Structure 1
Amino acid sequence: MPRGRHRLSRDDVRSAQRDKLIRGMADVVGEKGYAKATIADVLRRVHVSRETFYQQFADKEDCFLATLDRCADAMLALIAESTRGSVAVEPFDRFARGLTAYLTALADQWALTRTFFLECYAAGPVAQQRRFAAQERFALGLDAGFADHPGWRALPDRDFAARFLAAGLSSLVAAAVAADTPERLPDLEQPVIDLVRYLLSAGSAR
């Protein structure tokens, strides 16, 4: 924060510090892994005091859980923003547009992607639950996005189809993260689009 007088309230300052710590945790964990990352690493990265850290978080895990939540919110917001538009746009076209934005963002923000898709497994069951809760939110978004498509409505189990797509895509992204190959993410786009197109056409033919 700049020295001297400023117009930010105490809550604004705390919020800005929290944001810095969350971003620092994401960057450090993305580079070193959760097991090797330390609070000291985060503090050095963002130039925040230890006292400030403990005003915001109970421990490293608490900060990491907040980081997972922030990553999930950011990714879902990105998809929502990229698919927002005229109601005249077909559900499939909105999905394709959202998928492109999603995969591009994951490749561009590789440290965050690694933190969210891989390092949650090293952080224990609570972090894993947060990760899968975000996946469920993604599945709900898929179902809602296709709700107006007759092919989607005709599927025998829309909820399962959405969860299957969300889990499958997440697994493919995690595999690319484990191999440290962000360049592979764009290659997922066309096969996923082709699969969804087939599902919708199969549903329409029922």
Structure 2
Amino acid sequence: MQTSGPRPTPRRLPRGRHALSRSEVERVHRDRLCGAMADAMAENGYVGTSVEDVLKRARVSRQSFYGLFSSKLDCFMAAFDQAGEFLRLHLQDTAESATGGDPAERFERAFTAYLETLASAPGYARLFLVEVYAAGPEAIRRRSEMQQVIAEGLAGLMGVTGQTARFACQIVVSAVSTMVTPAVAVGDMDALRAVGPPVIDHVRLLLASGVLNPHPPAT
């Protein structure tokens, strides 16, 4: 399985002499190792993935691996950060282009982009949403921090500033994570996309009820 990743990289470096600097070679190796980690875990899970599995997929030497990472977990966390940044940048691009329309329309565009981003990189999506829980407390803490960033971005996109509305955004993000995770876990991208319409309809109801009021009441 080949995973679409945050940053496409050459499958291997050019043979013989090349003009790449040491830092560029390390970047290529890092990206390939992170992509290989996501690919391996999509098939075997975090526990079932070994450093050797990652090396075979990335076609990078063990020496190069340990020159960049101290352990499998260290490589996992780098891949997790890439997945989070990949998601954040896609949502940021959507937010910057979604200047028109009402809050419901902006949410629909952003949420649709979120689902398509996950579907476009199933290995990274599984790493980000599923295998993070097998990787231990630090990975789970990092996942929680990223969810908070996404919730704040949602609040900004929809123009909500009141405490109740911002908390509602956190609930929406947490609920969405729970709803999409089973589909990502089994690689069912149709089921992943099917989460979209009911969530969008529910957020419209929240907006209509005033729970997600873009304009907090005067005090």
TM above 0.5, one fold?
yes
CA gap of 1:10–1:156, structure 2 versus 1, over 3 A, is closer
* Counterpart among 18, 28, 31 of residue 16 in structure 1: 28
Equivalent AA in structure 1 for residue 122 of structure 2: W
1:53 and 2:65 aligned = yes
Secondary structure at 2:48 match in 1: coil
Equivalent AA in structure 1 for residue 139 of structure 2: A
Q: CA RMSD in A?
A: 1.9
Q: CA deviation at 1:125?
A: 0.8
Equivalent AA in structure 2 for residue 123 of structure 1: A
Q: Which consecutive residues of structure 2, in runs of 5 or more, have no partner in the other structure?
A: 1-12
Alignment of 1:66-85 (within 5 A): 66-85=78-97
**Distance in 2 of aligned mates of 1:115 and 1:109:** 10
* Counterpart among 185, 201, 205 of residue 192 in structure 2: 185
Equivalent AA in structure 1 for residue 23 of structure 2: D
* Counterpart among 156, 162, 171 of residue 169 in structure 2: 162
- 1:7: which partner in 2? 19
**Distance in 2 of aligned mates of 1:35 and 1:156:** 40
* Counterpart among 140, 154, 172 of residue 128 in structure 1: 140
- 1:31: which partner in 2? 43
Q: Which runs of 4 or more aligned residues in structure 1 lie more than 6 Å from their structure 2 counterparts after TM superposition?
A: none
Equivalent AA in structure 2 for residue 172 of structure 1: M
CA gap of 1:86–1:27, structure 2 versus 1, over 3 A, is closer
CA displacement 1:52-101 (0-9 Å, x = unmatched): 00010000000001111111110111112133226334333222112112
Q: CA deviation at 1:181?
A: 2.7
CA displacement 1:154-181 (0-9 Å, x = unmatched): x661221111011000000112234543
Q: In terms of mean alpha carbon deviation, does 76-85 or 123-132 score higher?
A: 76-85
CA displacement 1:109-136 (0-9 Å, x = unmatched): 2222111111111111111111111111
**Contact 1:118 1:178 (C-alpha < 8 Å) held by counterparts:** yes
**Contact 2:100 2:106 (C-alpha < 8 Å) held by counterparts:** no
* Corresponding residue pairs, total: 201
